[in-house]
Structure 1
């Protein structure tokens, strides 16, 4: 089994964080995005979506998409600690919040980054105006998240879950696009520090 990944990239960081929380080490093969290795015919023949991360199992099966990889890890390799829920209702609620963090926070941040950052010109047909509109979307979601975290310790409730990994990695990575937690967003800042103090967070963006 091996993880096809790229150090310091947002989606791989989520899997690295998840694996560290589980105490699992998997062989890694680095894919250089800036050199376009993910766009080669060889890579796409192995990984259907042509992205990272991807988990290649011993029988040759390849799992794409961060959440699918995390689900396999939790259900097939290491159920404890349960980061995706232990009951049908817990699993549904955690998936709900994780999707919210993906679609309402990570995605607009990513669009801001891809359409406004100079380093992304090689990978994206940039539309800066669109990027700035997405910045406003993400900033509004950060304000809402600050209010929500005033009511509970973690994003999906009182327990740390994959939804926290998704949100924390997004905020951490997209500093590169100028995103910052505002001084008045104390609940969000406290949560960010709380998640960032977990030992597993140290390896999320490690080289």
Structure 2
């Protein structure tokens, strides 16, 4: 088994997930700066040229960070990071999707349309990047209101993959100069709780 990964939020999500599970997987670093993601041998693993990629012992390939995490949830169910019953699983799915669509997507658009790393991947629209940048604080303010009920984690009382996704959003937001507003006390408390976990340094 090998995990092809590197710099970037999606690889980071998987590394945090593995650390939470206590799973050690051999890792292969994919260097985007050197164009290793475009090499024919890598494109045979993932035709989209994206990381992370999990190669199983039998040669089966799983791509997409959440799909990889789901594989490890099935093979190593404890501790549960996708919920433990019907309601908690639904809430984790709901909050992971919200984190991806509302926050991750907005920050991602800033990166995709402003960073030189992506200039060959798509036609960049800097004005769109700036519009999305201005929207980021409102996204965090929305989450702050949602966390006003005092729950410790996004989906309830237990840490989950949704917290991993949203926590990595905060990390990515900082990289692009869009720190979580200091006055959003609920989000700040939640963010400190997530970053205080040993897995954060994965």
Q: Same fold (TM over 0.5)?
A: yes
Question: Are residue 114 (structure 1) and residue 100 (structure 2) matched?
Answer: no
- TM-fit CA distance, 1:124: 4.8
Question: Are residue 2 (structure 1) and residue 5 (structure 2) matched?
Answer: no
Would the alpha carbon gap of residues 128 and 182 (structure 1) be closer, same or farther in structure 2, given more than 3 Å must change?
A: same
Specify the alignment match of 1:25 in structure 2: 24
Q: TM-score, normalised by structure 1?
A: 0.91
SS at match of 2:66: helix
Output one character per residue of 1:183-207: Cα deviation in whole Å (capped at 9) or x when no partner: 211111111111000001011xxxx
SS at match of 1:46: coil
Q: Distance in 1 between matches of 2:160 and 2:47?
A: 28
| CA RMSD, Structure 1 to Structure 2 (Å) | 1.5
Specify the alignment match of 2:72 in structure 1: 73
Question: Are residue 146 (structure 1) and residue 125 (structure 2) matched?
Answer: no
- TM-fit CA distance, 1:177: 1.3
User: Which of 85, 89, 92 is residue 87 of structure 1 equivalent to?
Assistant: 85
Q: Distance in 2 between matches of 1:47 and 1:121?
A: 20
- TM-fit CA distance, 1:41: 2.3
Structure 1 runs (4+) greater than 2 angstroms displaced? 116-126, 136-139
- TM-fit CA distance, 1:88: 2.5
- TM-fit CA distance, 1:104: 0.9
Output one character per residue of 1:34-86: Cα deviation in whole Å (capped at 9) or x when no partner: 2221122221111243210011000000100111100100111x111101011
Q: Distance in 1 between matches of 2:87 and 2:147?
A: 21
Task: After superposing the two structures, state which structure 1 stretch, 183-192 or 136-145, moved more.
Answer: 136-145
- TM-fit CA distance, 1:89: 2.5
Would the alpha carbon gap of residues 49 and 87 (structure 1) be closer, same or farther in structure 2, given more than 3 Å must change?
A: farther
Q: Distance in 2 between matches of 1:175 and 1:123?
A: 23
Q: TM-score, normalised by structure 2?
A: 0.93
Matched positions, count: 201
Q: Distance in 2 between matches of 1:84 and 1:156?
A: 10
> 5+ unaligned residues in a row in structure 2: which ranges?
none
Specify the alignment match of 1:105 in structure 2: 103
> 5+ unaligned residues in a row in structure 1: which ranges?
none
Q: Distance in 1 between matches of 2:46 and 2:121?
A: 19
